[in-house]
Amino acid sequence: MGVQHKYTRVKNVLTIILPTVWASFAGYLIWYVTSAKRNVTITLEDANTLWKIHKNSSNCTGHHWQPISRRGGKIFGFRCECGYKYTQKRPLVSSMPKPCK
């Protein structure tokens, strides 16, 4: 009887621990997928417009900006003389915009 009692106790503990572990894993996975982001390309004109908005809204004294580019010259953001850095980011899991007809 002592051995069987031990196995039922272990079984009772596992029925509590395993669903808790799986629920924690599922919660972490959902958080990771929704918080992860990727860089998105923008045009040179968009970067210039965003820099002008930054300059006007924050009373920036910088006169020049540099594009932040990676992978074959695609622009992902800009860096201002004042130290401000902007990068365009989008969540990993997002629906693609539908084309206009």
Q: pLDDT digit string (tens) for 6-55?
A: 778 878 888 888 899 999 999 998 888 788 888 888 888 999 999 999 99
For residue 22, what pLDDT is reported?
93
For residue 24, what pLDDT is reported?
94
Is there a domain that residue 54 lies in?
A: yes
pTM of this prediction?
A: 0.58
Cα distance between residue 55 and residue 42, in whole Å: 18
Name the domain count of the chain: 2
For residue 23, what pLDDT is reported?
94
Is there a domain that residue 27 lies in?
A: yes
Residues 5 and 45 in one domain: no
Residues 23 and 45 in one domain: no
Task: For residue 48, give the nearest of 37, 62, 32, 64 by alpha carbon.
Answer: 64
- H-type helices in 1-101, by residue range? 2-35, 44-57
For residue 98, what pLDDT is reported?
67
Residues 44 and 79 in one domain: yes
For residue 101, what pLDDT is reported?
65
Is there a domain that residue 76 lies in?
A: yes
Mean pLDDT of 68-88: 87
Residues 22 and 42 in one domain: no
> Which domain does 73 fall in, by range?
38-90
Residues 59 and 76 in one domain: yes
